[in-house]
Amino acid sequence: MKIKVMSFNLRVDGGEDGINNFSNRGEKIIRMIRSETPDLIGFQEATDRIKLFLREQLSDMYVILGAGRNRHYRGESVCLAYRRDLFELISFETFWLSSEPAVPGSRYVGSDQSPFPRIAIHAELSPQGMDQTVHFFNTHLDHMGEQARMLGMTQIVQREAFCRGGVILTGDMNAAPGSPEMSIATALASRTFRDATSGISQTFHNFGKLSGAYKIDYIFTDGKASGAYAVSDNPEDGIYLSDHYPVCTEIEFE
């Protein structure tokens, strides 16, 4: 079975993006998702209002899971979506990238991390037609601190190492290919873990203001990946899907 996976930073709905505020982009995002029909999606920067919108618009096709990163489980989140007709959920967890991962709102005290808590989510899924389960992780690493990103990625890799079954990690890593953080991402000693999106050179474009190589969004897996691409984002009346390109690949597990 081939699983089509998407990683997509939605860009928050803070109201500071003018014509590209989320209220103007939402319907375009839904059309894109329905056109691409990924089987699994890892979303970043999904605020409470954005999650509600996604659930209202996509509930016929997807189950959407995820909690906010703040102390009371509200605020910006990394959430995931899986196809209702293709997967059964076995387990789901949210953990904070900190020395106390079970404490909501916690962060790496004493590091170079920004003031914002960072989280990761992990769903174990049973795909139809497969004997093994798939472990789907999604995260958004810190935008300021290299040490915080390295600590966060190390924490995620340590959890992945204990997974029995295939593993997929999506996320906005806020780090370039070849950086120390990305070296950690492929450091699973027990299996071969690769960047399935290694052929994609640009994922962040800042609503069309940037051109050239600026890759910070990834899909990692120990499965066989093929056909990775960034979804085209031609603006309509100046309106983009996001300030990031959605990235996709197909993954097959033996």
The pLDDT score that the predictor gives to residue 212 is: 83
Q: What is the rounded average pLDDT for all residues in the chain?
A: 96
**Which residue has 């997929």 as its token pair?**
168
**pTM higher than 0.95:** yes
Query: What does each C-alpha distance from 98 to 40, 106, 116, 220, 226 come to in angstroms?
Result: 26, 6, 11, 22, 33
Say how far apart CA 65 and CA 39 lie, in whole Å.
Answer: 14
Q: Give the full edge-to-edge strand order of the sheet including 194-195.
A: 87-96, 119-127, 134-140, 166-172, 217-221, 194-195
- Nearest by Cα to 194 from 163, 233, 168: 168
Q: Which domain holds residue 40?
A: 2-252
Number of separate domains in the chain: 1
The pLDDT score that the predictor gives to residue 122 is: 98
The pLDDT score that the predictor gives to residue 254 is: 80
Backbone region of residue 183 per phi and psi (left: phi > 0; alpha: psi in -120 to 50; beta: other values): alpha
Does 189 score more than 80 pLDDT?
A: no
| Mean pLDDT across 56-60 | 98
β-partners of residue 96 are 119
**Which residue has 């190589």 as its token pair?**
213
Does 190 score more than 80 pLDDT?
A: no
- Kindly report the CATH number assigned to the domain that includes residue 247: 3.60.10.10
The pLDDT score that the predictor gives to residue 141 is: 98
Q: What is the pLDDT of residues 210-226, one digit of tens each?
A: 988 899 999 999 999 99
The pLDDT score that the predictor gives to residue 246 is: 98
Q: What is the pLDDT of residues 78-118, one digit of tens each?
A: 999 999 999 999 999 999 999 999 999 999 988 999 999 99
Q: What is the pLDDT of residues 113-153, one digit of tens each?
A: 999 999 999 999 999 988 899 999 999 999 999 999 999 99
